[in-house]
Amino acid sequence: MITLPKRTRADIDAHINIVPYIDVMLVLLVIFMMTTPIIEQGIEVDLPSGNAKAINLVDQEPTIISINREGEYFINSMDGGGAERLSAGTVAARVQARMQVFPTMQVFVRGHREVAYGAVIALMSFLQKNGVGKIGIITESEE
């Protein structure tokens, strides 16, 4: 009887090389870290400067109503979406609806530096007539 030599299979190395995936992940991380501060919700408003103390936002996000240079109204979105142009009546209705859900919610007006002062006062008085008791004004610090 003839015996043949036993063949043995070579051990298979079944490891996946993940170094390229780590490189791609780190590049994406750097890209997201650089672009996140650039992405800002809302509209561009050049705020007037003034001395004021910083506010404390603890419980919920405040409602911020922005007025651009042309006197158009925008309101921050509670779902994180972009701001849309609204009429004064729609702004008041949305603020009232939010106040029913969050009775202690803070309301702020953010007016462009070059908007007519009367437009800001008109919005604030319109909001007060529609049930908003306290309204703050957002400014930039002089520093």
Which 8-state DSSP code applies to residue 61?
Answer: P
| Sequence spans of domains, the chain | 63-137
**More confident: 36 or 22:** 22
pLDDT of residue 59: 56
- The percentage of the chain sitting over the pLDDT mark of 90, rounded to a whole number, equals 7
Rounded to an integer, what distance in angstroms lies between the CA atom of residue 50 and that of residue 141? 6
Average pLDDT over residues 47-52: 65
pLDDT of residue 2: 75
Question: Which CA distances in Å does 31 have to 19, 21, 23, 36, 43?
Answer: 19, 15, 13, 9, 23
pLDDT of residue 102: 80
Provide the angle, in degrees to the nearest 10, between the axes of the packed helices 88-101 and 117-129.
50
**Confidence class for position 39, pLDDT limits 50, 70, 90:** low
pLDDT of residue 77: 63
Q: Report the 10 Å Cβ neighbour count for 110.
A: 20
Token pair belonging to 94: 């949305």
Q: Is the pLDDT of residue 91 over 80?
A: yes
Give the chain's mean pLDDT: 77
Considering the four listed CATH numbers 3.10.450.50, 3.50.50.60, 3.30.420.270, 3.30.390.50, the one that applies to the domain covering 63-137 is 3.30.420.270
Q: Can you give the pTM of this predicted structure?
A: 0.55
Q: Which of 92, 87, 81 is nearest to 42 (CA)?
A: 81
| Burial classification of residue 71, based on how many CB atoms lie within 10 Å of its CB (0-12 exposed, 13-18 middle, 19 or more buried) | middle
Q: What is the pLDDT of residues 53-82, one digit of tens each?
A: 665 555 567 888 888 888 888 887 655 556
How do the residues of the chain divide into helix, strand and coil, expressed in percent and rounded to 5? Answer: 30, 15, 55
